[in-house]
Amino acid sequence: MNVLLDHLPAFRDGFLGTLAITAASAVIALVLGVLIAGFRVSPIPPLRAFGTAWVTLLRNTPLTLLFLIAMFVVPQVLFKGLSPFVLAMLALGFYTSSFVCEAVRSGINTVPLGQAEAARSLGMTFSQTLRLIVLPQATRTVLPPLSSIFIALTKNSAIAGAFSVTELFGFAKLLSDQGYAIAWIFLWVALAYLVITFTISGAFRLLERRMGVAR
C-alpha cells in the first residue's frame, strides 16, 4: 500500500493519462471506423478499394510499428511539433478504426437488403440511406463487438508509455526503475486497468439494454 500512497500524484497522473488517451483514441477510431465502413459498402468502386486497403493495411501492421512510424517518421515527413500524446493518440485511433470498421460493416450486413431498397425507392441517396435507415438498425448488433474493441484499445494504450506519454505503464516503469517491488507496482496498475475496462463493459451493457428489442 505504501508504494501507492507514497507516489499517489504520479499514479493519478498515469491513470488520468490512460483515460485521456483511451477516450481520445476511441473517438478517432469510432468516427474513422464508421466512415471507412461506409466506404466499404459504398456503390463507388474507388471508395470500396480505399476502405479495403485501409482495413487490410492497418489490421495487418503491428501496433508497435505504427507507434514507431507515428513517433519518428510522421514528425519528420508530415507534421512537426506534435506532442507524443497526439502522435500516440493518432496511432491508436487509426489502428483501432480498422477493427471498428469491420464491426460496423458486419452490423450493416445484418440489416435486410429490403430496407435499403425501400429507401432508394423513396428517393434517398446512399449517404441518407446509410445514416437514417441502415446504421440505426445496425447499432444494436454492433455494440457487443465495439465493447471488446474499446477494452482492447485501453490495454493497447500501455504501448504509449514506452514513448514518453504519461499513462499507467509509464508510472509502472518509473517505479520499477527506482527499485520498487515489481509485483506490487503491477498489482495497482492492473487494478486501475480493471476499473477502466469494467466501466467500459458496464457502459456498453447499459446501452445494449436500452437499445434491446423484446423478442
pLDDT in tens, 50-88: 999 999 999 999 999 999 999 888 888 877 778 889 999
Reported pTM: 0.88
Averaged confidence pLDDT in the chain: 86
Cell numbers at 181, concatenated: 517491488
In the prediction, which pLDDT does 93 show? 95
Cell numbers at 118, concatenated: 425501400
pLDDT in tens, 1-57: 566 666 677 778 888 999 999 999 999 999 999 999 999 999 899 999 999 999 999
DSSP for the chain reads -HHHHHTHHHHHHHHHHHHHHHHHHHHHHHHHHHHHHHHHT-SSHHHHHHHHHHHHHHHTS-HHHHHHIIIIIHHHHT-SS--HHHHHHHHHHHHHHHHHHHHHHHHHHHS-HHHHHHHHHTT--HHHIIIIIIHHHHHHHHHHHHHHHHHHHHHHGGGGGGGT--SHHHHHHHHHHTT--HHHHHHHHHHHHHHHHHHHHHHHHHHHHHH----
* Averaged pLDDT for residues 192-208: 91
